[in-house]
A and B are shown apart, each in its own frame.
Chain A
């Protein structure tokens, strides 16, 4: 693995100012707070965490829907954290996004063909309408829809089919990298498997890299090569997916994994859970020290004072004082 990463995120911070009035004290949500990780070409990086942990904000910052306050996002060696204008447009061609809600992410007044062709028009990929039309038909075939679907409207499709349309739109500009933000959580189990298989097939055919954001850990483990676990804006653990699942190091990863319901009655009924006390603290007033220290069963006095830095343990990165040498 001497390859260079296609995406390298370093010390990324995305904050939101949520101060309520001009005389109120300043309130900042640290949605993403000093996050670093790499994604290799043709790799799927799974990002997991509970609602409010900042995984969607991180994904949206990487595709530049939000501006980071600090840190760098290197895409193919170029720092895109601060690019604007024509450069940003050129970058958008290489990185696309698939959204969570297949009902909200397609314009109901545009036909499927118009939806898929729009990015081609914006990025001026084809000169004539005939070429665009031909490409749109081909994309529909790739995602498993029929050519005559091109004149229909999103309302005529089911959730799984709509997600396929969203995937076709993302593929329209021949991207190298796709951020998938919970692409399957709104779908039924039998349809989820269809979409996951589709994503895996087009990854192989088109040499894509994915950032796959989800809270369904079993599906993330299936699709990802590497997993990053987020908690309260922090990346607490990163490593190869099977490894992280079977030998979690960070106490939060341990608790999160033990909470997954296993679809096997003998295992599920005998498995003991580490039930975490309480809930995720507010990101406006995160705990001092380690963000997990308020719920961690192994927290010490030092954890409440000192914020842990990521430590290399084998091929894993863990932000926990327990693993300090």
Chain B
């Protein structure tokens, strides 16, 4: 059985301007030891999908539909009678079997707590160990993520660490209880390339060692190419295409995926050709298009795309794409 099973997940935000459909009808599953990349632009719903799963939605956000099964347990909000029950159950899971690495290591850490205290807290919250034992484990974690002279640095404050070192601490906190699932939300966006390389390598090594699953949220196709086995492309709150790394990079079916691959440069090739950008900008999720979210920017759009949501077409057991172009029922122009 899959470690994480997400079925028809939808999340909405209630704002003064109206209801924002941030995530609509997202389904995917993930096995232990697997690395899944979720790629999308800002506002595509990639982060909100993960916040819904881990139960960290903002106050005005709500999972309106769907089911999330993690490690055999239904953790959707609707499966709990009260909000209190749900919060309690999630608190036991979060930071324990399911952990999250956040984008900005500068704001994630508490500036007035020592690094050691911030590492010890998740250990003591979830395990019945003495403080001395927790401290020993914290030291071990710091060594594991490659922080030199851990005995000295455990008593320092976050401001005494550089950006790359802080991100290592954030990773160490996430790993504190050997999670089965690590969700990394743009873990390297705030870092320089050489530091990014160090951090990505570290996440990959830890995944291999502990056989945990990793979900990597990013907008950088280079990062997913390096790290992920499977890739989901999100656009306008939906997964428009999902497949193995090779299926997405070498055999993309959705016009958005194809467009995305054309507007990045591969430095290995010396092309003097101008880039092919995707015209226009992402849809307004306050008033999402009735049909395909990509219809306004798609050069292959047909009449059906405007009014009807495309269904998934299977290209292989791992490769699905939601586009009318591949649907035999659509009338081709």
Contacts and interface: CB of A to CB of B under 8 A. Distances in A.
Interface of A: 50-51, 158, 160-161, 188-194, 196-197, 200, 215, 217-219, 221-222, 242, 245-246, 255-256, 258-269, 271, 273, 275-276, 279
Given A160-B281, A200-B274, A263-B221, A222 B194 contact: no
A215 B193 contact: yes
B279 interface: yes
A176 B70 CA distance: 59
A263 B225 contact: yes
A18 B196 CA distance: 29
21 contacts: A51-B192, A158-B281, A160-B281, A188-B282, A189-B219, A189-B263, A193-B262, A193-B275, A193-B276, A200-B274, A218-B222, A222-B267, A222-B271, A261-B197, A261-B223, A261-B226, A263-B249, A263-B264, A264-B249, A266-B246, A275-B201
Interface string B189-200: 000111111101
For A200, A259, A261, A269, the residue with the greatest tally of chain B CB atoms inside 10 Å of its CB is: A261
Interface residues of B, number: 44
Interface string B253-295: 0000001111111111011001111110110000000000000
Contacts of A189: 41, 219, 221, 260, 263-264
A242 B98 CA distance: 44
Contacts of A273: 197, 201
For B162, B197, B249, the residue with the greatest tally of chain A CB atoms inside 10 Å of its CB is: B197
A246 to B, nearest CB: 8
A12 B170 CA distance: 39
A107 B263 CA distance: 30
A266 B268 CA distance: 12
A218 B194 CA distance: 14
Contact of B192 (A188, A193, A215, A269): A215
Contacts of A255: 194
Contact of B267 (A200, A218, A276): A218
A307 B11 CA distance: 58
A190 B225 contact: no
B66 interface: no
B164 interface: yes
For B195, B267, B281, the residue with the greatest tally of chain A CB atoms inside 10 Å of its CB is: B267
Contact of B246 (A245, A260, A265, A279): A265
A186 to B, nearest CB: 10
B197 A279 contact: no
A264 B267 CA distance: 10
Nearest to A246: B270
A222 B220 contact: no
A255 B274 CA distance: 28
B42 interface: yes
B264 A256 contact: no
Given A190-B41, A221-B265, A255-B194, A261 B222 contact: yes
B279 A194 contact: yes
Contacts of A264: 225, 249, 266, 268
Given A188-B282, A263-B261, A268-B225, 9 more contacts: A50-B193, A189-B41, A192-B277, A193-B263, A222-B271, A260-B267, A261-B200, A265-B246, A273-B201
Contacts of B279: 194
